Amino acid sequence: MMVIGAVALDVLREARSRRWVLALAIAISLMLIFLALSLRMDVLDGALASTRLFGALLGTDIRSVDVALRPVFRGTAYVIYYGGLSFGILGCADFAPTLLSPGRIEQLLALPIRRWELLAGTFLGVTALAVAGALYGAGGLVLLLGAKTGVWTIRPVLAALLTGVGFSALYAAMLSTALLVRSAALSAAVGGVLFVAGIVAGYRVKLAPLFHAGLGRSAFQVLTAMVPPISTLADTSASLAASAPVETIPLFSVLTGFILFGLGVLALGAWHFEQKDF
Amino acid sequence: MRRRNQWLLAAAVLLALAAYLMSRQGQAPDASPRAQVEFPRRLRAPEFQRMEKRKTLPPLPSAALASAQETRRRDPLISALPGNNGGTVLVIEANAIRHSPIGELLVQCFAARGRGDPVAQFQEQTGIDLLKDLDRIAITEKGMIVSGSFQNARWDKTFGEARASSYGEQGAIYSPAPHSLPDGGPAEPMMGIWNGQLIIIGENGDDVRSAVDRVEGRAPVRAPALPEESSYGEIYGVISAEQLAPLISGNDLALAERLRRVAERIEIHVDTRKDVALAAHVSGRDAAAVSDLGKSLGAMLSLARLHPEVRQNPDLAELLDLARIEPGDGHFDLELALPMEFLEKQLASCRGENPARAVSVP
């Protein structure tokens, strides 16, 4: 376990020097600073009386401030989830190919580290990076709005954690692809395809009747059952952030499914990695 | 080799389990309950068609015209209403409500909890089927006008010993004997029937005769109490602040007094086609005072949400989540809703107890 942690830390250290990661951190910080300076919210007896962005009035209806903030948290959860996943696919696609680059992989394999530990450490490091980004954005927004309105809620932060779970499933497939073919472009492409397929898979119940009953519909149902339902987790994340009711058992089932999918794909990657000659 | 196969086996088992768990998922709720509630905000196409269909009266004779607008055909019920005098005029689309989800539920409750079948008993006595013959009920400060199809009504049996006299071209006035009210005051209600379409109930004979005169075009035309463009929703009209204030004075006397002082016109619209959604438009001459009143009401709703009792009651919290005040210049809008899921939960005991009268919603 110590070895896996050390590899993960190594990945995080390397991430600091990446422009993509730096750009993300700067973008999130700028967005939070922009909101902190420009957003003014007048709260009167627990009611949001007015909201101004750069002095311009945004909506005039008087509503309980925690109710008024729900659409904001909902929208933010979607942005963090889909934005985080998109960024993660593009920004983290070349981590594994760099790890496997000639010269470096031989050096790593010469160390007393088992191959699967190397794989698990890389996966853990990149996933931790994605989770940190999501928590920074959501946590910053919660602190900012809490200070301005007095509404303190942990739900958007919990919702941001779901982004980490969603990304882990995608990155497991990207990492295993990179082990198969050392290409950042192919790794990103697999992540992208899985991302889009996952959005479709989330609506499989609604979309299935569009196919003719028979082979076409059955094939659609079987194929989409094997893909992590990205959009379902996005909707759940948004509902969680917006204090809408979220059923625990289906959420637990989906989350476990995502985690098992990630572990399954990683096991496939480990199987290939174990028999590969460098 | 054996270790490598273990990875493959683990992958197969994990992916199969993942597929099973992920395929069991349903759809997450699309949006907040508020987004699913449709509030009445303007005259919609079906309501415009409904309004046009009801204009069965010929235009007024030119001598009685106040504006070019009166050259069109007229709706008997709307014509019978007194002109705009700042008082309460409320129209209830009884037939539309009866065929709405809440109407269905209420009919079931009514039948389940009543002794015998009160609707059938009423029909037996009067010849009027309340569930079919009634169209609209208009309530004013001086009485009530009911529209519908009353050709089968047995007025002689209904009014018993009341004196009957014809009035105008198609009107009939019934004068029941004076009787005492529960508070001891005398009551001399008068009732009029017009062409088997309208039942007019007034405080006295003049009220009823004036209504018949307005329908038959003998009374001078005044500005309508309800403009055509305001006839949307299943309940619509204006309520005078004087009449509304006593209803809320029990909870907040100061607020009731402010409402009485500031609000000059309170127009309400209730939509029952899916949920029960109420939109009220409150306006007054003193723009600043109206705006302050709106803010006070908004703050009151917010404080209510923060109340411990409300926080412990998810149903109540959900109802208050759906409440909103939107201030404007010299007016504000109030929106409240009772989602059908909530009503069904509250009236769950009515479901299934008396399915005989349940009629599907068209």
- The residue type of A125 is G
Residues contacting residue B230 through CB under 8 Å, at least 6 positions apart: B43, B236, B237, B267, B269
Give the mean model confidence (pLDDT) for residues A153-174: 92
Cβ–Cβ gap A260/B324 under 8 Å: no
For A157-166, write each residue's pLDDT tens digit.
998 999 999 9
The predicted structure's pLDDT at residue B68: 52
Q: What is the percent of chain A where pLDDT is above 90?
A: 29
Task: Inform me whether the pLDDT recorded for A197 exceeds 90.
Answer: yes
Say if CB A109 and CB A190 are below 8 A apart. no
Spans of chain B, pLDDT less than 50: 28-31, 355-362
Segments of B124-275 assigned E as strands? 134-140, 143-148, 163-167, 171-175, 179-180, 186-187, 190-194, 198-202, 235-239, 265-271
Q: What is the pTM of this model?
A: 0.62
Residues of A in contact with B41 (CB under 8 A): none
Q: What is the DSSP letter of B149?
A: -
B298 touches A: beta carbon within 8 Å: yes
What integer pLDDT is reported at residue B359 of this predicted model? Answer: 42
Q: pLDDT band for position A151 (50/70/90)?
A: confident
The C-alpha atoms of residue A47 and residue A63 are separated, in whole angstroms, by 5
Cβ of residue A260 closer than 8 Å to a chain B Cβ: yes
Over residues A48-75, the mean pLDDT reads 73
Q: What is the tens place of the pLDDT at every residue in A18-40?
A: 777 788 888 889 988 888 887 77
Min Cα separation A17/chain B (Å): 34
Q: What is the mean pLDDT of chain A?
A: 86
What's the pLDDT at B2?
A: 63
Nearest CA in chain B to A229: B22
Please tell me the distance from the alpha carbon of residue B242 to that of residue B265, in angstroms, as a whole number: 10
| Average pLDDT over every residue of A72-88 | 89
Q: Is pLDDT above 60 for A225?
A: yes
pLDDT of A60 above 70:
no
Q: What is the pLDDT of residues B215-235, one digit of tens each?
A: 998 888 777 888 888 889 999
Report the pLDDT value the prediction gives residue B356, as an integer from 0 to 100. 45
User: Does position A4 have pLDDT exceeding 90, yes or no?
Assistant: no
Pick from B354, B255, B267: nearest CA to B303:
B255
| B15 interface with A at CB cutoff 8 Å | yes
> Given an 8 Å threshold on Cβ–Cβ distance, is B10 in contact with A275?
no
pLDDT for position B131: 87
Alpha-carbon Rg for chain B, nearest whole angstrom, is 27
Is A236 in Cβ contact with B11 (below 8 Å)?
no
Q: Would you say residue A170 has pLDDT above 70?
A: yes
- For chain B, say whether A220 makes contact (Cβ under 8 Å): no
Write the CA distances from A266 to A115, A124, A254, integer angstroms. 12, 11, 18
pLDDT band at residue A56 using 50, 70 and 90 as cut-offs: low
pLDDT at site A208:
86
Residue A19 touches partner B, C-beta closer than 8 Å: no
Q: CA-nearest residue of chain A to B293?
A: A62
pLDDT score recorded for residue B320: 79
**Rounded to whole angstroms, how far apart are CA atoms A258 and A198?**
11
Specify the 3-state DSSP secondary structure of B98: helix
Domain assignments of chain B as residue spans, ordered by start: 2-29+55-348
Cα nearest neighbour of B2 on chain A: A271
pLDDT of A163 reads: 93
Nearest to B282 by CA among B302, B266, B303: B266
Asked if B14 lies within 8 A of A250 by C-beta distance, the reply is no
pLDDT digits (tens, 9 = 90+) for A98-134: 888 888 888 888 888 888 888 899 999 999 998 998 8
Question: Given an 8 Å threshold on Cβ–Cβ distance, is B295 in contact with A67?
Answer: no
Which residues of chain A neighbour B8 with C-beta distances below 8 Å? 267-268, 271
